[in-house]
Amino acid sequence: MDVVEAIRDRASTRAFLDQPVSRETIEQVLETARWAPSGVNTQPWQVHVVTGVKKQQIGDDIVQARKAGQEPNPDYKYYADKFPEPYRSRQKACGYALYNALGITREDHERRTEQWFKNYYGFGAPVELFVFIDSALEKGSWVDMGMFIQNVMLAARGCGLETCPQAAMSEYPDIVRGVLDIPSSLHLICGIAMGYGDKSHPVNGYRTEREKVDDFTQWHE
């Protein structure tokens, strides 16, 4: 697949086929992604590939925590407390596009909750990649992690797979670490749901807008 096509056509996939992904294919994705750049070649990424029973257990445990009223305790703060414009408008448009594609109204709290809980099961993807970073590292290494995560998603497309990067998976890092027996010195950045996308599902039919180049670029000579 052409790299420009892989970038332009990538989208967060929220419905997957009930089709397993071989270990060899997952290894091929990671083999490609590992060539991401990093400051002084630190290569800070640490990946845990989760499938089957462990994947189901993580989803069940997080949903149980949610239903019990347990507050999320992420290792880092992903979103601002309040988005100023134009970010607030983009956030609202994104949410509207998602729920509109699913035919879920703003007032239908039950279906909205049901859809949100699907996050914790990777939207039915057979594979969830949990991406961790050593807590001793600084913000520069987090920039490196972003480049690695993008590499994972593009490499997946090259293997015929689709992905969804999930900040939601980092809401309860202690649960994830507990199930996978991971030390607290590793901070959970996100999950990446990965599998064969269900192209017929309406949730995969919508696309969010992107700003034009002239709207975010200034030229200096």
CATH code: domain of residue 12? 3.40.109.10
Please give the distance of CA 82 from its chain centroid, rounded to a whole number.
22
Burial zone of 14 (CB within 10 Å; 0-12 exposed, 13-18 middle, 19+ buried) = buried
Would residue 113 count as lying in a domain? no
Would residue 7 count as lying in a domain? yes
Would residue 48 count as lying in a domain? yes
pLDDT in tens, the chain (221 residues): 899 999 999 999 999 999 999 999 999 999 999 999 999 999 999 999 999 999 999 999 999 999 999 999 999 999 999 999 999 999 999 999 999 999 999 899 999 999 999 999 999 999 999 999 999 999 999 999 999 999 999 999 999 999 999 999 999 999 999 999 999 999 999 999 999 999 999 999 999 999 999 999 999 99
Q: Give the pLDDT confidence score for residue 150 in this predicted structure.
A: 98
Distance CA 143, CA 148 (A): 9
Would residue 103 count as lying in a domain? no
Our CA angle for 204, 206, 212, nearest 5°, is 130
Would residue 125 count as lying in a domain? yes
Would residue 154 count as lying in a domain? yes
Indicate whether this model's pTM tops 0.85. Answer: yes
Q: Give the pLDDT confidence score for residue 1 in this predicted structure.
A: 83
Q: What is the DSSP letter of 34?
A: T
Q: Supply the range of the domain harboring residue 189.
A: 3-80+121-202
Distance CA 144, CA 147 (A): 5
Would residue 70 count as lying in a domain? yes
Domain count within the chain: 1
Would residue 188 count as lying in a domain? yes
